[in-house]
């Protein structure tokens, strides 16, 4: 096996920088130069790796979903039970811990806001497909239980992005009741 080229070995650095940059500025508000600045390399080098901003954003989304799948797998492994509901619950806890990293959370929120961009919509669908399939296979839960798991994940996004835990109103309590976030 031959060693990776310098450019290929830099892809993880650039992808990680893209997650951070796009999480801060969104798709429309972030340039390839912004990502390059976060990575500490030139914009032309980033463009050599990812010829378009769409491809760079998609790479950031793929990294995000890889981290989500890793967290779900760790949660399932730590469930300490073969019970389907316990496995799904442990995966949910692991996801809640993961999105304490607001970069991953905000990247997903920004991606949803630009799902009209074909490449981004496709990457979001692929990521959601992988998460849903993993949750179904690993937990052995019903479609309805997995649907609720995914829906709670989206509710978690709202709770965290809007800091609803800090809102002292009955409507906020209704949404946050029973849902923990680090």
CATH code of residue 135? 1.10.357
5 domain-assigned? no
The answer to which of 20-29, 73-82, 119-128, 171-180 has the lowest mean pLDDT is: 171-180
Q: Is it the case that residue 115 has pLDDT exceeding 60? A: yes
Average pLDDT, the chain: 93
23 domain-assigned? no
35 domain-assigned? no
- CA 117, distance to chain mean position in Å, is 18
**Model confidence, pTM:** 0.90
15 domain-assigned? no
Q: Give the residue-averaged pLDDT of 145-160.
A: 92
77 domain-assigned? yes
Q: Is it the case that residue 38 has pLDDT exceeding 70? A: yes
85 domain-assigned? yes
Residue 121: give the domain boundaries: 54-176
Task: Compute the CA torsion angle 25, 155, 82, 76 (nearest 10 deg).
Answer: 10
* Confidence band, pLDDT 50/70/90 cuts, at residue 5: low
- CA 31, distance to chain mean position in Å, is 20
Residue 98 CA to residue 106 CA, distance in Å, equals 12
CA distances from 106 to 23, 39, 77, 177 (A): 5, 19, 26, 22
Contact 139, 76 (CB under 8 A): yes
DSSP annotation of 52: S
Total domains present in the chain: 1
13 domain-assigned? no
Coil, strand or helix at 5: coil
pLDDT the model gives residue 100: 83
């Amino acid at each position: 096996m031959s060693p990776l080229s310098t450019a290929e070995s830099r892809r993880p650095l650039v992808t990680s920088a893209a997650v951070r940059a796009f999480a801060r500025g969104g798709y429309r508000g972030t340039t390839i130069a912004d990502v390059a600045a976060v990575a500490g390399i030139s914009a032309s080098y980033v463009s050599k790796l990812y010829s378009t901003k769409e491809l760079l954003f998609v790479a950031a989304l793929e990294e995000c979903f890889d981290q989500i799948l890793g967290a779900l797998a760790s949660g399932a492994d730590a469930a300490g039970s073969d019970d389907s509901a316990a496995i799904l619950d442990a995966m949910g806890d692991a996801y809640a811990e993961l999105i304490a990293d607001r970069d991953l959370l905000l990247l997903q929120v920004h991606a949803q806001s630009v799902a009209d961009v074909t490449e981004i919509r496709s990457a979001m669908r692929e990521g959601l497909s992988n998460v849903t399939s993993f949750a179904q296979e690993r937990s052995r839960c019903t479609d309805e239980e997995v649907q609720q798991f995914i829906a709670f994940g989206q509710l978690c996004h709202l709770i965290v992005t809007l800091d609803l835990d800090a809102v002292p109103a009955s409507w906020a309590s209704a949404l946050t009741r029973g849902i923990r976030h680090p």
